């Protein structure tokens, strides 16, 4: 708008309303009409006008004003408190107030969004003039409402460098407010928290530095107001340096006017200059501005009218803070306090507790000439103009269908993760301990301080490596502390999370006890210790010797998202970028914050993190649910990662069809033939990189037992592409069974003995030398008469012997030490019954022909079972998360966490098609798309020719796509209760799920959203 507009508007308002009605008049101007006109004309400083003021003289505002009685005009300046978690009597009482007194607005407090929406619809329909609905939503609707997204506290956001994220948060909060029918959000808090003991602001502030507070607040404000929700800067003239909570008493502010001007008022001015829509005035006693005893700033004309409206030229809406707070309520009764606030210059009285009395008291004040009807009318016009600006001139009922889903939309969830990640502040990183670089040399304990329950932080840490969990409660005795010290003595690294801290400053030191302090101090002194503090950042000052820890992370608050992201920061899934927005102590000062690089290991995020949309992956859920519904498998795990980020990771269904135990994402599955690429190929490729294995050599080169047999000269390139003329498989178990169905006495026993030590299944142990018979049978088996592709297990059964012969180390030991443990894939294991409780392992088949029992925590494949569960073709167990780590090692051509485990270009070469010209589309050990683009094949139709992976008989599948930087893992036990069930293959569930990902990628390429600007 041009400056001339403001002059014209002011002039017209003077003509309409007279001389004493405008908010910009100076104290001297009150004595003459001429002075009033001059003051009015000059008070509308272009940069400081809220955008809604353009509607002050609109047709809609005029039309509404004509319908309002003097009492109803007063009521338009009243906003009453409403709760959506109270009973019907409360709901009906509010309705009676709306219909009887025609109040102008309401502020919603605790409750739920659907309940609030229904109440809002009712009250709007009952109201003569559309109601202005407001809420305290500093960190989003979740500040008041359940079932909504809780964005980080402003203190957490104060250390974020990327203010565009804060702008987008404001925009998203505005979108959510609009969806819920809310028009004013009492945010941002622009108080400068330069008092660490502040009991009411603290974590609600962006920090202690005025320019930082101003810029962060401006981003938040613009995000909201660009999306037509009125922002409200609070608490004028600055509530950051108080030691009294104005909810319970009246804070006394004793600093100078110079200090007030230079510090506290700075962010208010900055926001006013950019069109701030409204201001909330605080309840504080400020003698330098008004020395009236026990008078709150809210009720002070020198503060509200003289300072805010006249001196600062502010013309937007002015709200009182809640008038039922003890900072004002204990000095004046309801009604009286409201009229005092109105006389002081406030436009809207918030939390009026007695509407009838308030209207009567205002009428008395008009009669006593303490305030004029013209002044009331002008403030009403401002309120109505704001209502028109937010769209209330065209009010429509709130649609409650899908309301919860809309308020928890994926964009908002991802934005919340981005904000939280950007806020995490690394304050100590001794010897660059973070990100943790070596996993196989560390025995790690995850200690939860302040709780006795397993935390999300502990569970999330376990995604990266094996961690053992411990708990330290605030009230532990010295004896218990000593016992804990003894339990931790053998651990190389302690990752401590400090939990359940009190949020506000006070005499309790945030809940940090002397016992906690003592133990933490001793722990830091004696062990490598990483401390993550999930709570108010000022609590760091209460922890002795914290600055001497190997690493310290400030997470600002405790929720699932902060714990998730801190665990990722520690292991290098994400990096640290946050800075302290306040000085906590001599050790931890404002702007402290170390940087680390992310991308070392897998990160865990959402599809939006890689440019995809969560709703476009909803088809995955549909396909898996269909498979379970049609009993193709009782349950499954699905993991999708792109660009090193796990963007989808879910568990479905149950372990078995009895539906007693739900599948968890960390449950362990029998991987079946995925074992081939996870064990044999992992070992052979590593040896290839070391120059100790060559696929152009023969089997006899690496396996002495092949000498003199028809297998000796088989070329390994042919072996690994399944065209070496080996038989597909041999039913070894049949040689152990008599015609009557009993086992031959020299093969199995029901109990373990020295001669029969190898467990095949429960109550079934095989002779210690039976493996030699299996190898002999393979060596003596005939080759296929015709050359060509025949998928065979036999060479992979021999692979462990090849690896052992080359390395001199047992197959399982070699894999664990050289690959699995270093990359943190700790669940990849043979014979999981040795390492995990049965409840963690998903059963496979109730096998009727050989072992005649439900196979649970022992391998499904008969041959692998007879080899003691350790083989190169089957026998490996693991969860989807750890399979994905190994697949990322392949995706990155042998690199993981910045360390090379397989020689450069080896995976690239081994994953290429070797004999495509001969119709054999396989790579070395890996599956590839049989016929690229074909339906019902071993790969998704859109999988590129460069992609590779493997499937498993039990219902497993994993795929690596280096073109699109994808890793995909599908684990199920489709053979439960019988292997005869092949519905999973008929439904093409495994490849169909991956195709959903490709389809989502296609959609994202078609439509790239434009980025919003903060400027």
Q: Which of 861, 854, 708, 738 lies closest to 796, judged by CA?
A: 861
User: Hunting for tokens 């009712």 — which residue is that?
Assistant: 122
What Cα–Cα distance (Å) separates residue 204 from each residue in 171, 420, 577, 952? 19, 15, 21, 53
Using an 8 Å Cβ cutoff, are 208 and 193 in contact?
Answer: yes
pLDDT at 878 over 60: yes
pLDDT 10s digits, 246-298? 777 787 888 899 999 999 999 999 999 999 999 999 999 999 999 999 899 99
pLDDT grade for 934, boundaries at 50, 70 and 90: low
Distance from C-alpha of 714 to C-alpha of 512, rounded to nearest angstrom: 69
Tokens of 86: 């109270």
Using an 8 Å Cβ cutoff, are 305 and 290 in contact?
Answer: no
Q: Give pLDDT, residue 3.
A: 39
Main-chain phi, psi angles of 766, to 5 degrees: -100, 155
Q: Give pLDDT, residue 748.
A: 95
pLDDT 10s digits, 310-344? 999 999 999 999 999 888 888 999 999 999 999 99
Q: Which residue has the higher pLDDT, 243 or 916?
A: 916
pLDDT at 34 over 70: no
Distance from C-alpha of 736 to C-alpha of 855, rounded to nearest angstrom: 19
Distance from C-alpha of 920 to C-alpha of 721, rounded to nearest angstrom: 8
Q: Which residue has the higher pLDDT, 377 or 14?
A: 377
Q: Give pLDDT, residue 241.
A: 80
pLDDT at 521 over 60: yes
What Cα–Cα distance (Å) separates residue 687 from each residue in 416, 887, 900? 45, 18, 13
DSSP string for residues in 151-212: PPPHHHHTT-S-HHHHHHHHHHHHHHHHHTT--EE---B------TT-SSSGGGSS-S-HHH
Is 3.40.50.1700 the CATH number for 424-596?
yes
Q: Give pLDDT, residue 932.
A: 55
Q: Give pLDDT, residue 47.
A: 41
Tokens of 715: 């070329």
Q: Give pLDDT, residue 750.
A: 95
pLDDT at 411 over 80: yes
Q: Give pLDDT, residue 49.
A: 81
Give the largest Cα separation in the chain, rounded: 120
pLDDT at 351 over 70: yes
Using an 8 Å Cβ cutoff, are 742 and 733 in contact?
Answer: no
Q: Residue 857: CA atoms inside 13 Å, Cβ hemisphere, count?
A: 14
pLDDT 10s digits, 659-697? 999 999 999 999 999 999 999 999 999 999 999 999 999
pLDDT grade for 959, boundaries at 50, 70 and 90: very high
pLDDT grade for 937, boundaries at 50, 70 and 90: confident
Q: Give pLDDT, residue 197.
A: 83
- Average pLDDT of the residues in 406-424: 98
For the chain, report the end-to-end CA distance as a whole number of angstroms. 17
pLDDT at 221 over 70: yes
Distance from C-alpha of 823 to C-alpha of 592, rounded to nearest angstrom: 32
What Cα–Cα distance (Å) separates residue 242 from each residue in 285, 476, 934? 11, 35, 70
Q: Give pLDDT, residue 408.
A: 98
In the chain, domain spans? 71-404, 424-596, 619-692+809-1002
Neighbours of 696 (CB within 10 A): 8
Chosen CATH of 71-404 out of 3.30.360.10, 3.90.1150.10, 3.30.1360.170, 3.20.20.300 = 3.20.20.300
pLDDT at 32 over 50: no
Q: For the chain, what percent of residues have pLDDT higher than 90? A: 88
- Average pLDDT of the residues in 610-629: 98
Neighbours of 932 (CB within 10 A): 16
Q: Give pLDDT, residue 507.
A: 65
Q: Give pLDDT, residue 730.
A: 95
Which residues share a beta bridge with 594?
426
Q: Give pLDDT, residue 329.
A: 83
What Cα–Cα distance (Å) separates residue 542 from each residue in 472, 524, 536, 625? 17, 15, 11, 50
Angle in degrees, CA 962, 964, 966, rounded to 5:
70
Main-chain phi, psi angles of 497, to 5 degrees: -110, 130
pLDDT grade for 240, boundaries at 50, 70 and 90: confident
Main-chain phi, psi angles of 92, to 5 degrees: -70, -35
pLDDT grade for 195, boundaries at 50, 70 and 90: confident
Q: Give pLDDT, residue 508.
A: 80
pLDDT grade for 1013, boundaries at 50, 70 and 90: very low
Average pLDDT of the residues of the chain: 92
pLDDT 10s digits, 71-98? 999 999 999 999 999 999 999 999 999 9
What Cα–Cα distance (Å) separates residue 688 from each residue in 680, 682, 691? 12, 10, 5
pLDDT at 705 over 70: yes
pLDDT at 10 over 70: no
How big, in percent rounded to 5, are the helix, strand and coil portions of the chain?
Answer: 40, 15, 45
Q: Give pLDDT, residue 475.
A: 87
pLDDT 10s digits, 585-607? 999 999 999 999 999 999 999 99
Q: Which residue has the higher pLDDT, 863 or 328?
A: 863
pLDDT at 829 over 60: yes
Q: Which CATH architecture has domain 619-692+809-1002?
A: 3-Layer(aba) Sandwich (3.40)
Tokens of 498: 């400090």
Q: Give pLDDT, residue 8.
A: 37
């Amino acid at each position: 708008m041009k400056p001339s507009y403001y002059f014209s508007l002011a002039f017209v308002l003077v003509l309409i309303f007279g001389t004493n009605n405008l908010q910009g008049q100076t104290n001297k101007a009150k004595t003459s009409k001429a002075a009033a006109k001059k003051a009015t004309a000059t008070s509308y400083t272009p940069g400081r006008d809220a955008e809604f003021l353009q509607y002050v003289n609109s047709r809609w505002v005029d039309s509404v004003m004509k319908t309002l009685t003097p009492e109803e005009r007063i009521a338009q300046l009243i906003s009453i408190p409403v709760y959506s978690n109270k009973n019907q009597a409360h709901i009906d009482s509010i309705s009676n107030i709306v219909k009887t007194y025609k109040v102008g607005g309401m502020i919603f407090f605790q409750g739920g969004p659907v309940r609030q929406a229904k109440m809002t619809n009712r009250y709007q329909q009952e109201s003569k003039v559309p109601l202005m609905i407001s809420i305290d939503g500093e960190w989003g609707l979740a500040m008041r409402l359940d079932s909504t997204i809780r964005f980080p506290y402003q203190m957490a956001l104060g250390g974020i460098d990327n203010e565009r994220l804060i702008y987008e948060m404001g925009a998203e909060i505005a979108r959510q407010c609009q969806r819920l029918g809310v028009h004013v959000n009492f945010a941002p808090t622009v108080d400068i928290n330069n008092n660490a003991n502040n009991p009411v602001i603290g974590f609600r502030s962006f920090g202690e530095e005025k320019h930082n507070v101003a810029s962060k607040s401006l981003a938040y404000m613009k995000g909201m107001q660009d999306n037509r929700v009125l922002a409200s800067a609070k608490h004028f003239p600055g509530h950051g340096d108080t030691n009294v909570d104005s909810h319970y008493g009246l804070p006394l502010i004793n600093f100078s006017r110079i200090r007030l001007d230079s510090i506290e008022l700075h962010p208010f001015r900055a926001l006013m200059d950019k069109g701030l829509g409204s201001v909330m005035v605080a309840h504080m006693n400020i003698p330098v501005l008004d020395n009236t005893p026990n008078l709150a700033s809210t009720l002070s004309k020198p503060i509200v009218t003289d300072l805010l409206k006249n001196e600062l030229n502010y013309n937007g809406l002015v709200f009182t803070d809640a008038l039922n707070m003890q900072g004002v309520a204990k000095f004046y009764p309801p009604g009286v306090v409201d009229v005092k606030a109105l006389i002081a210059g406030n436009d809207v009285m918030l939390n009026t507790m007695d509407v009838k009395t308030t209207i009567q008291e205002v009428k008395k004040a008009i009669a006593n000439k303490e305030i004029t009807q013209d002044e009331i009318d002008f403030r009403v016009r401002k309120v109505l103009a704001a209502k028109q600006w937010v769209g209330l001139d065209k009010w429509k009922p709130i649609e409650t269908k899908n309301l919860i889903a809309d308020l928890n939309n994926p964009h908002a969830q991802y934005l919340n993760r981005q904000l939280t990640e950007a806020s995490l502040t690394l304050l100590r990183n001794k010897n660059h301990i973070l990100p943790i670089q070596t996993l196989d040399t560390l025995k790690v304990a995850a200690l939860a301080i302040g709780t006795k329950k397993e935390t999300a932080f502990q569970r999330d840490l376990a995604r990266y490596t094996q961690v053992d969990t411990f708990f330290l409660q605030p009230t532990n005795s010295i004896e218990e502390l000593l016992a804990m010290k003894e339990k931790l003595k053998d651990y190389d690294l302690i990752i401590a999370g400090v939990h359940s801290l009190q949020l506000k400053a006070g005499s309790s030191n945030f809940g940090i006890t002397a016992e906690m302090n003592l133990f933490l101090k001793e722990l830091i002194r004696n062990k490598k210790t990483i401390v993550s503090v999930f709570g108010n950042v000022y609590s760091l000052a209460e922890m002795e010797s914290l600055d001497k820890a190997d690493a310290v992370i400030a997470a600002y608050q405790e929720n699932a998202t902060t714990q998730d992201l801190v665990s990722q920061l520690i292991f290098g899934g994400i990096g640290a970028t946050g800075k302290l927005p306040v000085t906590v102590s001599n050790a931890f000062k404002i702007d402290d914050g170390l940087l680390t690089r992310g991308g070392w290991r897998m990160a865990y995020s959402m599809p939006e993190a890689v440019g995809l949309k969560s709703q476009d992956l909803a088809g995955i859920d549909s396909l898996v649910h269909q498979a379970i519904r049609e009993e193709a498998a009782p349950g499954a795990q699905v993991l999708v990662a792109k660009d090193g980020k796990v963007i989808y990771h879910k568990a479905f269904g149950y372990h078995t069809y009895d539906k007693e135990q739900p599948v968890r994402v960390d449950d362990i599955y029998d991987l079946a033939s995925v074992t081939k690429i996870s064990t044999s190929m992992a070992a052979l490729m590593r040896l290839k990189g070391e120059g100790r294995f060559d696929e152009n050599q023969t089997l006899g080169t690496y396996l002495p037992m092949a000498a003199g047999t028809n297998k000796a000269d088989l070329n390994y390139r042919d072996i690994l592409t399944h065209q070496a003329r080996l038989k597909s498989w041999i039913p070894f178990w049949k040689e152990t069974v008599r015609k009557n169905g009993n086992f031959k006495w020299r093969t199995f026993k029901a109990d373990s003995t020295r001669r029969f030590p190898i467990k095949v299944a429960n109550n079934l142990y095989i002779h210690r030398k039976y493996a030699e018979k299996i190898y002999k049978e393979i060596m003596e088996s005939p080759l296929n008469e015709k050359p060509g592709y025949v998928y065979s297990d036999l060479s992979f059964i021999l692979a462990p012997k090849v690896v052992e012969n080359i390395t001199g180390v047992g197959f399982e030991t070699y894999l664990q030490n050289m690959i699995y443990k270093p990359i943190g894939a700790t669940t990849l294991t043979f014979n999981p019954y040795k390492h995990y409780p049965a409840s963690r392992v998903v059963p496979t088949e109730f096998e009727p022909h050989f072992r005649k029992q439900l196979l649970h925590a022992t391998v499904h494949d008969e041959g692998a079972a007879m080899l003691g569960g350790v083989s190169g073709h089957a026998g490996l167990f693991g969860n989807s998360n750890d399979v994905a780590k190994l697949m990322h090692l392949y995706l990155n051509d042998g690199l993981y966490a910045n360390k090379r485990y397989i020689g450069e270009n080896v995976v690239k070469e081994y994953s290429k098609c070797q004999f495509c010209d001969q119709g054999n589309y396989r790579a070395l050990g890996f599956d590839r798309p049989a016929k690229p683009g074909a339906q019902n094949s071993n790969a998704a139709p859109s999988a590129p020719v460069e992609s590779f992976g493997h499937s498993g008989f039990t219902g497993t599948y994993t795929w690596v796509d280096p073109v699109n930087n994808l890793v995909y893992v599908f684990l199920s036990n489709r053979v439960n209760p019988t292997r005869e069930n092949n519905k999973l293959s008929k439904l093409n569930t495994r490849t169909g799920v991956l195709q959903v990902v490709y389809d989502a990628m296609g959609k994202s390429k078609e439509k790239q959203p434009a980025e919003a600007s903060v400027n």
